[in-house]
Structure 1
């Protein structure tokens, strides 16, 4: 076994440990107990969520009474304020409620919602780990990013049953099993990192029905490593209240990706 292979395996194990710690953190994806679209509550009252909520043109107007026991920026809050979408992780959300729950304001395609992250969620309590396949160097191959002339948006089904636009910036090409394959990828506007939603022949059988891949930022010539050992479970594998997009047309690989994160250990018979 080469030193490079040993190092790659060690790096993968450290990556996997960081992932398990991140998803099981107090405000990680396992803590999400609800995504409440304000359009579904025109009267402004959301069951089990304190306060009165009303979307405005530029944000969400929140009105709270003392009995709502809300805190804004760490201080007890009553009265009214207008909130914009939270841009950071849930643990940094401006609003918190009794019991340590964080209330996160989000906006998707012009629609506002409030998410509740509860450290005491059942999913956190019953989490037993992520089933993942040990590192296999055969699934780490050279790739090349081929950007589109202009960004494209395709309508894809989401985990909540609604279709939404998925922005795509190009194709990621790589060879595996003697054939070339491509995945349509989104491009992060900040660092240029790539992101793909993909399916494969294990989906719904020995793996979750689809997975994510974040291969990083390509070099100036478009080259990068496509490491399927780092296939990720999407957030909706951890909580039903996420709105993960399904793979766009053409992003289901015609072979088994028996690598990376596969499914939750605590829910081997669900989510597939």
Structure 2
């Protein structure tokens, strides 16, 4: 580990609690809603309209916006070609739900890396060190996304937030 990498990790670790405890952070869950109960697609206290599409609930959007909602991130890990699905957040940053061979024993069931946005050629660099646990890891009553098919890696990722310290 280089000095810069160690400093970067220390800075990230010191800053990690801020978004968790922020006014709209992951510990501020206000409710769990069923889209079927809101036929117009408007969920109380949530911005925008929502619709059922594919395998989940998505923001109601035009085709151009919907087409950038998910993509595959292709890389090789331990000699195995992988193509996990990645979602694009409102701010345009990629976000994934990944499991690995330590999921459920040695680490939480899955983690949430945020790779850098792809460059003009569609390439990015993945860094598992800042992958985080969402509020479902901290509270049993919170519904959490699970890795879609293809998002469970056959290798152990010994990095990032892996489990809760109690």
- TM range, smaller chain: 0.7 to 0.9
Match of 1:35 in 2: 31
Match of 1:252 in 2: 152
Could you list the runs of 5+ residues in structure 1 that have no partner in the other structure? Answer: 43-54, 61-83, 88-105, 111-152, 156-163, 267-272
Contact 2:128 2:159 in 1 (8 A): yes
Larger Cα-atom Rg: 1
Output the aligned Cα RMSD: 3.2
1:197 aligned residue (97, 104, 107):
97
Q: Does 1:170 align with 2:71?
A: yes
Q: Does 1:236 align with 2:136?
A: yes
Shift of 1:27: 5.8
Match of 1:215 in 2: 115
Shift of 1:214: 0.9
Q: TM-score, normalised by structure 1?
A: 0.48
Higher strand share: 1
Contact 1:228 1:259 in 2 (8 A): yes
1:26-78 Cα offsets, whole Å, 9 max, x none, are 6643354x525489xx9xxxxxxxxxxxx794757xxxxxxxxxxxxxxxxxx
Shift of 1:257: 0.7
Shift of 1:262: 0.7
2:162 aligned residue (250, 254, 262):
262
Q: TM-score, normalised by structure 2?
A: 0.74
In structure 1, what is the Cα distance between the partners aligned to 2:8 and 2:42? 42
